[in-house]
Amino acid sequence: MTMPPISYPVLRLRPKADARRIRHGAPWAWSDDLVLDRRSRAIPAGSLAVLEDAERQPLGLGVATVEGKIGLRLLDRDPAAVIDGVWLASRIKAALDLRERLYATPFYRLIHAEGDGLPGLIVDRFGDTLVMQPNAIWLEEREDLVAQGLLAATGCSTLIKNGTARARLAEGLPEVSAVLAGTAPEAAIPVPMNGATYMADVMGGQKTGLFYDQRDNHAFAARLARGARVLDVFAHVGGFALASLAAGAEHAVAIDGSEPALVMAQEGAVALGVADRLTTRKGDAFAEMEALAAEGAQFDLVICDPPAFAPSKTALEPGLRAYERVARLATALVAPGGVLILCSCSHAADLGKFRAACLRGIGRAGGDARVIHTGFAGPDHPQHPALTETGYLKALAFRLMP
């Protein structure tokens, strides 16, 4: 292995740190595991640095942020790698090649951070428009190179930077959004998925404007939807509701706290030609479920896709109680023999803990459940096997026995 150039500073693991974890694929070195002396603390955040084990054997090249919880994010296992436009272009091309094999249309997550070997970078593609979230300081400093690589690889004409993610705060980055290339769309972009049409507000919507991660779970729900009465709670722009209507659902009700999101859902229903079969209810999801129960409403298929109730380990216990409450309230709305789909996008709540919380809620509502499906994010959201954050999404489908 070629030795790294002298220009790269070095960060070294403490003798008691587990170097095998890094060698076996972990992409992060925790600051607590590093030798932090005056020299290493002087390395500016975002600088490239070589990571060595306690015996001074190089483990790879990464981005140093020694004052944060994550002391170094590995970029390349070769400590002599050159992180330039050519390097970025190769990573982007590898990500694009996978998506083009997976999808016949240009609507997908193009870059999924560590899942594609580009820590902190999220890019979603909406036809000729790309929306990127550069959530790490090393990307901010190479913004022009990243932009050039994305536009050259995809041939897209418009690139929008969304700099509003919470992850940027941990990197000391400002909330700045801008159109980096092309012209901002004047209207929402129609996105075809699973036979439905979704409207993506790439300038003013949540995150990049649409959530691609539930695509495969939408498809599973649609298999159960023909002729069904469907309730989509925390619906955003009508993800599960529109997929169900496209598959022949009798009627769907979409609940969300955001009026703009529900307007997007209604526009999607109009584009699909099923506007008369979609009802929207704006309000707090918990209160709306209680109100529906008081009205005696029953549905053949109920889906709840809430925000991340447990975004960190400190929020895990209250988050699990919230998931349990969702399950309890939703169970009361499922007709005998119907199906309840419960989702979590909290990486801190692993599948076992999430399933247990769901079953507690179902049990307390008097339900008798059978698991008929376990789903995750689609393959355009590749999971890094050593990083739970990239495999955050879980979906559990329960049949409630009649």
Q: 257 near 279, Cβ under 8 Å?
A: no
Summarize pLDDT for 242-266 with one digit per residue, the tens: 999 999 999 999 999 999 999 999 9
Total domain count, the chain: 3
Q: pLDDT value at position 6?
A: 52
- For residue 320, being part of any structural domain is answered with yes
Within this chain, do residues 161 and 209 fall inside the same structural domain, yes or no? no
User: Do 290 and 162 have their domain in common?
Assistant: no
**In what helix (H) or strand (E) does residue 277 lie, and over which residues does it extend?**
none
Say whether both 318 and 363 belong to one domain. Answer: yes
Q: What is the mean pLDDT of the chain?
A: 95
Q: Indicate if the pLDDT at residue 2 is higher than 60.
A: no
The rounded Cα 279 to chain-centroid distance in angstroms is 27
Same domain, 45 and 100: no
Question: How far is Cα 44 from Cα 135, in angstroms, rounded to an integer?
Answer: 17
Give catalytic residues, as residue numbers.
345
Domain of 111? 85-181
Give the domain-ending residue among 27, 59, 76. Answer: 76
The percent of residues above 70 in pLDDT, for the chain, comes to 99
Q: What is the pLDDT of residues 148-205, one digit of tens each?
A: 999 999 999 999 999 888 888 878 888 889 999 999 999 999 999 999 999 999 998 8
Among residues 44, 76, 108, which one ends one of the domains? Answer: 76
CATH of residue 359:
3.40.50.150
Mean pLDDT of 266-291: 97
Q: What is the secondary structure of 49-66 as a DSSP string? A: EEEE-TT--EEEEEEE-T
293 belongs to a structural domain: yes
- Residue 60 scores a pLDDT above 80: yes
Residues 130, 148 share a domain: yes
Judge if 274 and 367 occupy the same domain. Answer: yes
161 shares its domain with 293: no
Q: Is the pLDDT of residue 4 over 70?
A: no
- pLDDT by residue (tens digit) across 220-245? 999 999 999 999 999 999 999 999 99
Residue 1 scores a pLDDT above 60: no
Secondary structure (3-state) at 75: strand
Neighbours of 90 (CB within 10 A): 13
Q: Which of 179-183, 205-209, 280-284, 332-336 has the lowest mean pLDDT?
A: 205-209
Instruction: Looking at the structure, tell me whether residues 224 and 107 fall in a common domain.
Output: no
The residues, any chain, with a CB within 8 Å of residue 74's CB and separated by 6 or more, are 22, 27, 28, 29, 51, 59, 60, 61, 62, 119
Q: Is 1 inside any structural domain?
A: no
Please report which confidence band the pLDDT of residue 207 belongs to, taking 50, 70 and 90 as the band edges: confident
Strand 70-76's sheet: what is its strand order? 10-12, 48-52, 58-64, 70-76, 28-30
Residue, of 167 and 53, whose pLDDT is higher:
53
Residue 319 in tokens: 């988050």
Using CA atoms of 162, 166, 169, 173 in order, give the dihedral in degrees to the nearest 10. -10
2 assigned to some structural domain: no
Q: Are residues 94 and 239 in the same domain?
A: no
Nearest to 354 by CA among 384, 305, 391, 396: 396
Q: Of 163, 181, 199, which marks where a domain is finished?
A: 181
Q: pLDDT tens digit string along 106-156?
A: 999 999 999 999 999 999 999 999 999 999 999 998 999 999 999 999 999
Q: Note whether residue 384 is domain-resident.
A: yes
Are residue 163 and residue 203 in the same domain, yes or no?
A: no
pLDDT tens digits along 318-333: 999 999 999 999 999 9
Q: How many CB atoms lie within 10 A of CB 201?
A: 20
What's the CATH code of the domain at 117? 3.30.750.80
Residue-level pLDDT at 122: 96
CATH classification at residue 34: 2.30.130.10
| Shared-domain flag, residues 199 and 66 | no
Residue 388 reports pLDDT greater than 90: no
Pair (233, 296) in one structural domain: yes
**Which tokens go with 362?**
């179902």
